Amino acid sequence: MAKVPTTGVGGITSPLEPAIPRGRPDRAARASISASAPNGPVAGPSRFAKPKPFLPNAINPERCANILGTLQEISTASADVDGCCQLLECISDEIEAEQAVLILCNPLTRELEFVVHNQDPAVPKRYADYYCDLDPTRLPDYIKGNGPTLAPATVPAVSDLMDVVDYGSLVCTEFYNDFFKSAGIHYDLVAFLSATPLARGALCFHRARQRDPFSAEEVGILQMIAPFVGNHLEKMVSASVLSVLQMAEEKGVIVCDTHGRVLYCNDIARVLCSSLGQQVGTPDPEEDGAFVGFTLSNPDTLADSCSVGVSSREVTLDQGGQGRLITLEPRDGFGPRWTGPLKERFALSDREIEVLVRVMAGGTNRDISQALFIAECTVKKHMQSIAAKVGARTRTSIAHAVRQELGLTL
């Protein structure tokens, strides 16, 4: 996996660690680097560098017609997992990659999910189970939207791992020898996608060690194609379905495709299902072998696993496909309609009520900070103020006191 750049398609940025600039070797020099990698460990940290800026003239004009055909095929791909498989295949053919994987983040569980082409589904499953924590590029943090304040946009959206990390150090790591090598991966080309906050991910293309490295032309081709893939991901979330969210302000809302893949969920749903990731555990491959990740094939299972009321109905997505709209409600009925009584009884501010609602739904400080886009230390300060106003010290006692005061089920 390649180092996360400071920008992605659509302008959403991600931090890049201090880099040691170095030029991009030609194909022969890069192959020589790979062949002469040391067998023993290399002292000191891996070296990182910014990718070389994309040069439009790096692409042979004779290939432009083929690229236009690829872009047209991507634009007509269906807005579902099958369409993702189609675009992975046509891009792999265009840049002569042996394996390809689209990495996304499940909106509900916040776990990684994958669509693969010509790759054993066990490979991304192993990555999600263990090796993502060893990835020196911090790619999962980028996809999940974690990390420090975002930096200004200065770097292209496509990175070649050979331009980003010192391969002499990388080939001596557990990540390379136990994961990359066993999966037949040596060269790694990554496009970072961030068409919208709801459609963030990465396209990864791989070659084995005996193949040539990715050329500057192939890097340029992928950089041209990446924005179109970002648009495809954006189509997978239906604007018409999102418009119903304003009618369900007190409920959790989840939108799934017909296979149960979560396309969208709001903050309330994420908090109500905050324990779901731990219960589901590692995602299992689907039977078709193309998708690896959590699916919500039976929404009724949320009733018992998350202690919520569940209702669902079929909807038509913007691109004409069918989907399912799932609404969730806390079983004790606690929700935003209690804003007035909470202000009157405990003199809580609007922000403190937003925090308290999520505490009552079982959200952790981290869940609340992500849902409200505030720092965890700010959540702690709000919790201290809430505790003082309610007259209780722990989260459990705060919830008990509030439910008792409002006459809710204990």
Do 107 and 230 fall within a single domain? yes
Q: Can you give the residue range of the structural domain that contains 341? A: 336-406
Do 63 and 199 fall within a single domain? yes
Measured CA to CA, the distance from residue 251 to residue 193 in angstroms comes to: 30
The least confident of 90-94, 116-120, 359-363 is 359-363
Domain count, the chain: 3
Do 110 and 62 fall within a single domain? yes
| 37 pLDDT more than 70 | no
What single DSSP character describes residue 395?
H
Question: Is 123 among the domain residues?
Answer: yes
| 195 pLDDT more than 70 | no
Question: Is 199 among the domain residues?
Answer: yes
Question: Is 223 among the domain residues?
Answer: yes
Do 394 and 259 fall within a single domain? no
Mean pLDDT of 344-369: 83
Question: Is 92 among the domain residues?
Answer: yes
CATH number assigned to the domain comprising residue 364: 1.10.10.10
Question: Is 121 among the domain residues?
Answer: yes
Measured CA to CA, the distance from residue 391 to residue 405 in angstroms comes to: 12
Of 214, 235, 256, at which residue does a domain stop? 235
Higher pLDDT, 320 or 311: 311
| Contacts of range 52-55, beta carbons closer than 8 Å, 24 or more positions apart | 52/23, 52/24, 52/163, 52/216, 52/219, 53/156, 54/156, 54/158, 54/219, 54/220, 54/223, 55/216, 55/220
Higher pLDDT, 6 or 175: 175
Q: CB count, 10 Å around CB of 186?
A: 21
Do 114 and 184 fall within a single domain? yes
Do 297 and 213 fall within a single domain? no
Do 97 and 48 fall within a single domain? yes
Residue 355 Rama label (left phi>0; alpha psi -120 to 50; beta): alpha
Measured CA to CA, the distance from residue 313 to residue 324 in angstroms comes to: 6
CATH number assigned to the domain comprising residue 258: 3.30.450
Give the tokens for residue 28. Answer: 């022969």
Of 304, 330, 356, at which residue does a domain stop? 330
CA count, 13 A, side-chain hemisphere, 294:
21
Do 211 and 351 fall within a single domain? no
Inter-helix orientation angle 64-75/216-235, to 10°: 20
Do 295 and 186 fall within a single domain? no
Question: Is 2 among the domain residues?
Answer: no
Per residue in 358-397, pLDDT (tens digit) is: 787 767 888 788 777 788 889 999 999 999 999 998 888 8
Give the tokens for residue 238. Answer: 């239906």
Mean pLDDT of the chain: 75
CATH number assigned to the domain comprising residue 134: 3.30.450.80
Do 98 and 224 fall within a single domain? yes
Measured CA to CA, the distance from residue 90 to residue 118 in angstroms comes to: 12
Do 202 and 298 fall within a single domain? no
Give the tokens for residue 216. Answer: 């500057």
Question: Is 136 among the domain residues?
Answer: yes
Which one, of 225, 348, 250, 380, lies nearest residue 308 by Cα? 250
* pTM: predicted TM-score of the whole model, two decimal places: 0.65
pLDDT at 115 (0 to 100) = 94
Give the tokens for residue 217. Answer: 């032309």
pLDDT at 331 (0 to 100) = 63
Higher pLDDT, 387 or 323: 387
3-class SS at 206?
Answer: strand
Question: Is 19 among the domain residues?
Answer: no
Strand order in the sheet with 308-316: 262-265, 252-257, 322-330, 308-316
Do 82 and 140 fall within a single domain? yes
